[in-house]
Amino acid sequence: MTTLDVTQEPRSPMPVLTSPDQLLAPCPKFRILVLGNPESTKQELFSKVFGVDLEKRLVSEGFTDDHNIEEELNLEGQNDRLTIYTSPNFGSDNEDIYRRVCNFISSRDDESRPLRERIHCIWYCVASEEERPISRLEARFFGEDIASVAPHVPVIMVFTKYDEFISKVQLDWSKDAQERGLSKVAVTHILNDLTAKRFSKTIGKRWDELMLDKSGRPKGKRVLRACVAGGTDPDDDESSFEALATTTLESLREWKEGYVRLVFAAAQRNSATISTKYCAKVAADYFSVNTGHARKADGMDVSEILPNFWAKAVNIFNMRDVSCVLSNPGLLERVLFATFEKDQRPLLEESLHRSSTDQTILLGLSPHERAVLLTQELASIVMFLDKLADMQWPQRDPFGTVTAYSIESDLRAIAVGRGKRELLETIEGSTIFTTSPLKQAIADLITRAVEQADKAVSPHGRGAGRAIVVVDDSELQEMSLTYVNDKAPDDMVLPCGLTILPLN
């Protein structure tokens, strides 16, 4: 069986077609410990990154002094790739809590434990309050004990309620700035810069003095940071939780085992880009570059590869599919038919339904052409799931569930859109099929092709134009021309009957 460590090349010259249910077998769940308190840790932290909708009361109870840290947070079956442990943080200077948490971390960061049972990441949550001091036990943990208590598991400092911090800075400055005639866009950009600097000089400085030396290097274990909003501003909300997901993935590079990063890609439901990249890495295992050319690996039929990859990709995207719509027979074929032109359907049908001994049209293609076709087919699967996830994921309230209607909508959009042409042409024009020293180049090509397809459909970014809100004229507020030109159509608020056509 080939390794799924996506940062390394497999040693075996011929990869084995592993079954989809073995994809995450070494580490089927991402296990995270979240330390915080009922005020600084809201349920949005879990819903916007992992797509689980939990009651506020249940989440709050997980951060009370008498909560059993060994008890997993009840996710009510909403995400089978995730386990969450919770506990109060050390802000209250409670020695019992400190000892309980440190013992739990030490036992779950023991290398003798199987990877599937260990803690894979820690979020330490504190509210973004300028006046909040660092407690004695926090100074002890981050200044002295962290390297011995959590030598392997990455720790991320999560500053919650960042939107409230922004509001305080805004009250001090933005009103006066607008009275001086600055546009809303100018105010926004300047405010973002001022907020970051003020955060760095106040909250960030206190933690820097604890964890960094005079040259800015970590005194001990490296601790990454992320600031998350509290749900009052959809734009800040979306970008901040996406940053948290990205930062978490970055921290997991500390794990030598690529399975941990892979299972996080499957557990998170915030970034379709993360899932796409890891699908592309798995797709690269179907190829060989031993001769310096990207070619389909010997010993595997395309008719076996396509359904095998489809099942693995669905696992990685891990969408909420209550009705099992994605497992419907024939959906894979419909995805490929929506992406390719009608004159290529005989090729697709042979790829799906005939083994190499029964093929006639495919055998007439050169190895180069067959490699291009297989890459295009795999990329088509990724593009479909990427687009579907972007329709369901982040910041949806309630969180999106895959339906037959959303599947049909996605297929129609691909069939009539410009994205499929960009996808196919990006792959066809690549040089990796003649010079490919690493299989990572195949993964990068698939990722780039999906990104190009998305840009062709949404030049202003993911979801652009999908959330235009039409309101009555009486509710329309004054908007500067600079503001209109600087924003994508989904940010516009239009009077009835008007449409904004974005300039590319």
DSSP 8-state class, residue 253 = G
Q: What is the pLDDT of residues 328-347, one digit of tens each?
A: 999 999 999 999 999 999 99
d(CA 440, CA 189): 37
pLDDT of the residue at 234: 52
440-457 and 272-283 helices, crossing angle to 10°: 140
Residue 270's nearest CA partner among 445, 45, 427 is 45
Q: Give 92's pLDDT tier (boundaries 50, 70, 90).
A: very high
Phi, psi of 226 (to 5 degrees): -150, 140
196 CB-contact burial (10 Å; exposed 0-12 / middle 13-18 / buried 19+): middle
Strands (E), 95-253: 121-127, 155-160, 223-227
Q: What is the pLDDT of residue 493?
A: 41
Query: How does pLDDT run across 361-394, given as a tens digit for each residue?
Result: 888 999 999 999 999 999 999 999 999 998 888 6
Positive or negative, the CA dihedral 206, 208, 213, 215 is negative
Residue 17: band (very low, low, confident or very high) from pLDDT cuts 50, 70, 90 = confident
Q: Which residues pair with 450 in a beta bridge?
A: none
Q: How confident is the model at residue 475 (pLDDT cuts 50, 70, 90)?
A: very low
How does pLDDT run across 225-271, given as a tens digit for each residue? 999 987 555 555 678 899 999 999 999 998 988 999 999 999 999 99
Q: What's residue 271's pLDDT?
A: 93
Among the listed residues 62, 89, 67, the one whose alpha carbon sits nearest the alpha carbon of residue 158: 89
Separation of alpha carbons 402 and 413, rounded Å: 16
pTM for the model:
0.84
Nearest alpha-carbon partner for 233 in 427, 18, 71, 44: 44
Residues 430 and 445: beta-carbon distance below 8 Å: yes
pLDDT of residue 173: 72
Q: Is 50 exceeded by the pLDDT of residue 3?
A: no
Query: CB of 266 within 8 A of CB of 51?
Result: no
What value does the mean pLDDT of the chain take?
Answer: 85
Tokens of 25: 């077998």
- pLDDT band for position 5 (cuts 50, 70, 90): very low
Query: What's the rounded Cα separation, in Å, for the pair 154 and 23?
Result: 23
Q: Residue 175: which pLDDT band, with cuts at 50, 70 and 90?
A: low
Could you give the percent of the chain with pLDDT greater than 90? Answer: 63
- Return the closest-CA partner of residue 273 out of 237, 324, 316: 316
DSSP annotation of 145: I
Question: Residue 256 has what pLDDT?
Answer: 87
Instruction: Work out the pLDDT band at 116, boundaries 50, 70, 90.
Output: very high
pLDDT score at 496:
41
> How much is the pLDDT for 1?
41
pLDDT at residue 195 above 50? yes
**Which regions of the chain carry the CATH code 3.40.50?**
30-164+225-266
Q: What is the pLDDT of residue 10?
A: 44
Give the phi and the psi of residue 157 in degrees, each rounded to 5. Answer: -85, 115
Task: Tell me the mean pLDDT in the region 262-291.
Answer: 95
Residue with structure tokens 């329709």? 391
Residue 294 has pLDDT above 80, yes or no: yes
- With both helix axes pointing from N to C terminus, report the angle between 331-339 and 302-317 in degrees, rounded to the nearest 10: 100
Residues 6+ apart with CB under 8 A from 355: 301, 303
**Which CATH entry fits the domain spanning 30-164+225-266: 2.60.120, 2.40.10, 1.20.120, 3.40.50?**
3.40.50
What the block records as the tokens of 159 is 């500053």
pLDDT band at residue 466 using 50, 70 and 90 as cut-offs: very low
Strands 223-227 and 155-160: parallel
Residue appearing with tokens 């002295």: 144
Q: What is the pLDDT of residue 11?
A: 42
